Amino acid sequence: MKKAMLALSIMLVLVACAPTQPVTPTPYPTYTPYPTYTPEPTSTNTPEPTLTPTIQIDIAATETKLEIKKDFFSDEVIRRFNEAMGCVLATWEENTFDVVCVMVPVDTEQELIEIAYKLTYGLANQMLGMEFDFCFTKEFTFIASLMNSDESWAVRAFTPGDVLKMLVDKQVDSVEGWRELVSVESIKADN
């Protein structure tokens, strides 16, 4: 057994002292680089900061302010024309402004129509000054309802908003020119 042990020891020494065999690497597939896609930055991907302030409008406050101005306008029309022409009503509806005066100091239908023209022209200029831009659209109607003092004549004139704009722009500057563009109803009382 000694011989076997000696032979095993010699083999072990020979193997240990033998030069090492180079290790050949396992072949891997070669790497072929592909071009990579880099997305271009767009405005939807990266928003640009802006220095423009955002304007926010308080609709409720704006409507309230407009209603206050309209109420003031109505009150002033009644106050100014009550004593001279018996103005009893100046009211706003959705797309109308209606003025009613029942003691206009004139005698004839033609004089009432002239007063309706002057009232319409004057109040249209006041509306412009109050910045009532909605009054100068085709959808709006200014209504002047007038009755003379002895109640023998009544006139009701309907002036569209675009004609009001023509009045304030001085495109219409006479009763006759105004009359061609508006609707006027005249009523003679049966005495």
CB 137 within 8 A of CB 161: yes
Query: Domain extents for the chain?
Result: 62-188
The count of other CB atoms within 10 Å of the CB of residue 168 is 17
**Beta-bridge partner residues of 159:** 142
Region 170-175: what's the mean pLDDT? 94
Q: Going by C-beta distance under 8 Å and a sequence separation of 6 or more, which residues neighbour residue 143?
A: 96, 97, 98, 99, 156, 157, 158, 159
Say whether 87 sits in a helix, a strand or coil: strand
User: Per-residue pLDDT for 174 more than 60?
Assistant: yes
- Convert the pLDDT of each residue in 15-73 to its tens digit: 555 555 555 555 666 666 666 666 665 555 556 666 666 676 666 666 688 899 999 99
CB 112 within 8 A of CB 152: no
User: Per-residue pLDDT for 106 more than 70?
Assistant: yes
Confidence of residue 118 (pLDDT cuts 50, 70, 90): very high
Segment holding 177, helix H or strand E: helix 175-181
User: Per-residue pLDDT for 102 more than 70?
Assistant: yes
Residue count of the chain? 191
CB 77 within 8 A of CB 67: no
Q: Rounded distance, CA 44 to CA 129, Å?
A: 45
163 φ/ψ angles, rounded to the nearest 5 degrees: -75, -35
Confidence of residue 190 (pLDDT cuts 50, 70, 90): confident
Residue 125's pLDDT is 95
CA neighbours closer than 13 Å in the CB half-sphere of residue 134: 10
Instruction: State both tokens at 74.
Output: 């109505």
Residue 66's pLDDT is 86
Q: Rounded distance, CA 12 to CA 138, Å?
A: 115
